[in-house]
Structure 1
Amino acid sequence: MSNILVECPQCIASVRVGVLGPLQYLAEKALCKVRYCDTRQITREDIAWSDILVCVRGCEYPTLRVVQAAKRAGRFVVYFLDDDLLHIPTGNASTKYYSDYKIQQNLTKILSLCDALWAVNPRIIKYYRRWCSRTILTRVPAKIVKEPPKAAEPLKIIFAGSVDHSSLVQEKLSPAVTRLLSEFPGKVEFTFIGASPKLPEQRGLQLYSYFDSYDAYQELMINGNYSLGLAPSYDTPFYACKYYNKFIEYTSYGILGIYEAVPPYTDIVRDGENGYLCGGDSENWYGKIKNVVLNCHEIQIKTAAAQDELLRDFSHTKISYELFEQLPELRNFCAVKVDPSEVCLPHMRWLFYQERIQLLIRMYGVLACFVIAVKAIRKIMKLFRRKLEK
């Protein structure tokens, strides 16, 4: 039985759903053992314990040091990637971070050291296999969290995404939402999570900032009784490399989706069957949403069809074993035993924060001291809130 160590700067959705989802299912079947660690918390003992290291979206120098230590110790290293991180478009909140020349160098160095590239989109494999020739393609497992809500007024419509999507929302959805709220007063309600639509406060509009707590976010999605979910995108190579996460997420919460008619949504959505596909401008979004609102009696039927597909093709059992077949090392790779003292790894917490400060200086120059101060205050406040909650 292999010991699998999963590493990432923090336990983001890519870790929880994309990696730990299938691996923990295999662990429950006693086919492997799984341990997750934030990068800054990894120790020599963790590397010595592991047979396999799974690096999730790694691109910082501390992750490079972890991968180098694992390789020297004879560990099998897998790189999980679900985004085209080398080509983040301008205008995103993360553009400066991923455009940093050291971040880009670290990413390709890490990937070139790995034994296998694990992706959830074939386009990622096409672009990144130059650094790692062995590739694994899987889907992300999912389960039904909530059945579709019963038809009711107002019809609740949601967009859930990061602040990175604000310009996308403002360009494609905001004009449509303004018109629909005017035409259907009291009959529709729009909720935006994360991205700001830049609309004035008004009846039928709910706004939530990005949730730091995944549990709080999940509670809202379960109890919000949303019937319709919106997923705009752009027709570019970067967005085509993404995974159709919104189809999985909306469907799992009993929400029928309207998705932009571009990859990757066209890889999974069949218009009028398991969701709707929509043209890219605000006029198309207005027309499509209006048509669904006028025919809202069809929503439950189509949501049920989408959920049947999720149960059939995206079960943890099916996807975990697909991964197992492509990567048999998960079960039978045993690394040479080493003593923790033999693992060449620096003090990770110190290295992590040192590198983060240097990165912020490269990104913001003299303004870095203010950015660091703000981040420190936010972290302290977050820790304080957690203590109060306990």
Structure 2
Amino acid sequence: MAEDRSLIKPKIDILLVIEGEIATTHLIEHMLSACEPYGIVYRKVFLAALKPSDIRKTTIPFFVRSGDPSLRLWIERLHNAHHPYIYYIDDNFWKIEGDSPIALYYQHPLIRHTLETAISGAYRVLTNSDLLAEFLYQFNEKIEILPSFFDFSLLKAAQPPTHGELRIGFAGSPSRVDDLEIIKPVIRPILDAYPQVVFEFIGATPSDLGSDSRIRTFPHNADYEGFIHFKQERQWSIGLAPLIDNYSNRCKTNNKYREYSACGIAGIYSNMPPYQRSVVDGETGLLTEHTTQAWISAISQLISDPTLRARIASNAYEDVLEKHSVERVAMIWSNHFAQVQRHMKRTRIKPLRINKLKSYLLAHFLRFESLWVRASTVYAEGGWRLVAEKLVNRIKFALLRDKAL
């Protein structure tokens, strides 16, 4: 029997281009997979391995958080071919403060230049924050604020606690360590007042806590699925989400709310825009001000009232399931990709023409810029000794990779 062509959804070819495997790229992959019923087919490639043959005339290049100078070569090629691309960003890299490695990297003028070039030339810029969108308008007015999401299929079956402790936790990347200074003065008073309480930190830990068996630390897990599973396994009763009040943090998404809530954890959140727009105080979480007493009061309230703790965890789970489930959000993202595809069909896209000599020279120049940025960042962090250590490690990795091949 002949197949009814009217029932076949047209395929939308997305090329996901990333610099490295991080939580954001893992989340985007889960979203693209959820978009498959709507005709989305995606491929993934690292920016360093991207080739002209990866980009067909019908391909939608989708760059995620990339600021490496080598991106500018591909932006120029796409512009010359009148080939639209999408750029996704979920952090305000221009407003990152401090002297952490990630802050130093994004403060570098060459990285800023690449970000602005990529964003200003994009057919669409995607983000999840209205405040970040307002900032990005200075580079490009074609901003789409798409809903954030959580993939509930990542979760394991919940298990009842068997440890007899009341665990309070924080989970995040090492770049969040400055935010933890907000709750550092809170830890000792809570431990002294409640002998059943244990604090656990995954990925980042407040400085100078000393040795205490009731303060546990765990390394950062770059594998997002493994990270979620480990957080579930710790069986936290309370999750903490402190944020220093600065412009960069105000542009963030409610990621902690989605993760804690999906894992059945009652959360306490800084009373700032990322959480003010999603947390209903006293119903789906607690919002607290940036004072030691306010954090002690909020934590003590949830410790002392298990009924409130359970109600908040249940309400928050249902709220995130309803509003942020990847299956619910996928249709919105898919509709956006379909709009881009329709625009491409109306555009006279040329093949990517490569001037070999020019591309060779520009690629090597941009590669030098990239290495210079990374060396400068490492030098600022630990001087020439750390630069030498990183170089030796990179050579060892390259040798092992070549041997494996």
What TM-score do you get using the length of structure 1 for normalisation?
A: 0.88
Q: 2:132 aligns with which of 102, 105, 124?
A: 124
Q: Hey, what's the Cα distance between the residues in 1 that align with 2:348 and 2:52? A: 15
Q: Hey, what's the Cα distance between the residues in 2 that align with 1:135 and 1:71? A: 19
The answer to whether the Cα contact below 8 Å between 1:148 and 1:227 also exists between their aligned partners in 2 is no
Shift in CA distance, 259/14, structure 1 to aligned 2, threshold 3 Å: same
**1:110 Cα deviation from its structure 2 partner:** 1.3
Q: Which runs of 5+ in 2 are unaligned?
A: 1-10
**1:108 Cα deviation from its structure 2 partner:** 0.8
- SS across alignment from 1:210: coil
1:297 aligned onto 2:307: yes
Shift in CA distance, 269/367, structure 1 to aligned 2, threshold 3 Å: closer
- SS across alignment from 1:29: helix
The answer to whether the Cα contact below 8 Å between 1:6 and 1:34 also exists between their aligned partners in 2 is yes
1:94 aligned onto 2:102: yes
Shift in CA distance, 309/367, structure 1 to aligned 2, threshold 3 Å: closer
Question: Within 5 Å, which residues of 2 pair with 1:31-70?
Answer: 31-48=39-56, 51-70=59-78
Report the counterpart of residue 7 of structure 2 in structure 1.
none
Q: Hey, what's the Cα distance between the residues in 2 that align with 1:227 and 1:147? A: 16
Q: Hey, what's the Cα distance between the residues in 2 that align with 1:135 and 1:243? A: 16
* AA partner of residue 96 (structure 2): I
Report the counterpart of residue 322 of structure 1 in structure 2.
332
The answer to whether the Cα contact below 8 Å between 1:148 and 1:255 also exists between their aligned partners in 2 is no
Report the counterpart of residue 178 of structure 2 in structure 1.
167
Identity score, percent: 21
Shift in CA distance, 293/146, structure 1 to aligned 2, threshold 3 Å: farther
**1:122 Cα deviation from its structure 2 partner:** 0.7
The answer to whether the Cα contact below 8 Å between 1:52 and 1:78 also exists between their aligned partners in 2 is yes
The answer to whether the Cα contact below 8 Å between 1:48 and 1:338 also exists between their aligned partners in 2 is no
Shift in CA distance, 290/382, structure 1 to aligned 2, threshold 3 Å: farther
The count of aligned residue pairs is 383
* AA partner of residue 30 (structure 2): G
**1:326 Cα deviation from its structure 2 partner:** 3.9
The answer to whether the Cα contact below 8 Å between 1:235 and 1:263 also exists between their aligned partners in 2 is no
Report the counterpart of residue 158 of structure 1 in structure 2.
169
Q: Which runs of 5+ in 1 are unaligned?
A: none
Shift in CA distance, 357/326, structure 1 to aligned 2, threshold 3 Å: closer
Shift in CA distance, 346/147, structure 1 to aligned 2, threshold 3 Å: farther
**1:88 Cα deviation from its structure 2 partner:** 1.0
Cα deviation, 1:196-246, whole Å, max 9, x if unaligned, reads 223112121111122244354233112111121100012222211011110
The answer to whether the Cα contact below 8 Å between 2:375 and 2:387 also exists between their aligned partners in 1 is no
- Please tell me whether Structure 1 or Structure 2 has the larger radius of gyration of its CA atoms: 2
Q: Hey, what's the Cα distance between the residues in 2 that align with 1:347 and 1:254? A: 53
The answer to whether the Cα contact below 8 Å between 1:149 and 1:227 also exists between their aligned partners in 2 is no
Shift in CA distance, 191/68, structure 1 to aligned 2, threshold 3 Å: same
**1:147 Cα deviation from its structure 2 partner:** 6.6
The answer to whether the Cα contact below 8 Å between 1:42 and 1:348 also exists between their aligned partners in 2 is no
**1:254 Cα deviation from its structure 2 partner:** 1.6
Q: 1:374 aligns with which of 389, 392, 395?
A: 389
Report the counterpart of residue 230 of structure 2 in structure 1.
220
**1:283 Cα deviation from its structure 2 partner:** 2.1
The answer to whether the Cα contact below 8 Å between 1:56 and 1:80 also exists between their aligned partners in 2 is yes
Q: Hey, what's the Cα distance between the residues in 2 that align with 1:191 and 1:384? A: 38
Shift in CA distance, 295/378, structure 1 to aligned 2, threshold 3 Å: farther
Q: Hey, what's the Cα distance between the residues in 2 that align with 1:252 and 1:173? A: 23
Report the counterpart of residue 111 of structure 1 in structure 2.
119
- SS across alignment from 1:264: helix
Q: Hey, what's the Cα distance between the residues in 1 that align with 2:272 and 2:157? A: 27
Question: Within 5 Å, which residues of 2 pair with 1:1-390?
Answer: 1-17=11-27, 19-26=28-35, 28-29=36-37, 31-48=39-56, 51-144=59-152, 145=155, 150=160, 153-169=164-180, 171-185=181-195, 187-197=196-206, 198-332=208-342, 333-334=344-345, 342=354, 346=360, 354-363=368-377, 364=379, 369-376=384-391
- SS across alignment from 1:191: strand
Relative to structure 2, which stretch is displaced further, 335-344 or 95-104?
335-344
**1:163 Cα deviation from its structure 2 partner:** 1.9
* AA partner of residue 302 (structure 2): V
The answer to whether the Cα contact below 8 Å between 2:87 and 2:122 also exists between their aligned partners in 1 is yes
Q: Hey, what's the Cα distance between the residues in 1 that align with 2:165 and 2:276? A: 29
* AA partner of residue 322 (structure 2): R
- SS across alignment from 1:136: strand
Report the counterpart of residue 4 of structure 2 in structure 1.
none
The answer to whether the Cα contact below 8 Å between 1:21 and 1:141 also exists between their aligned partners in 2 is no
Q: Hey, what's the Cα distance between the residues in 2 that align with 1:166 and 1:381? A: 30
* AA partner of residue 370 (structure 2): R
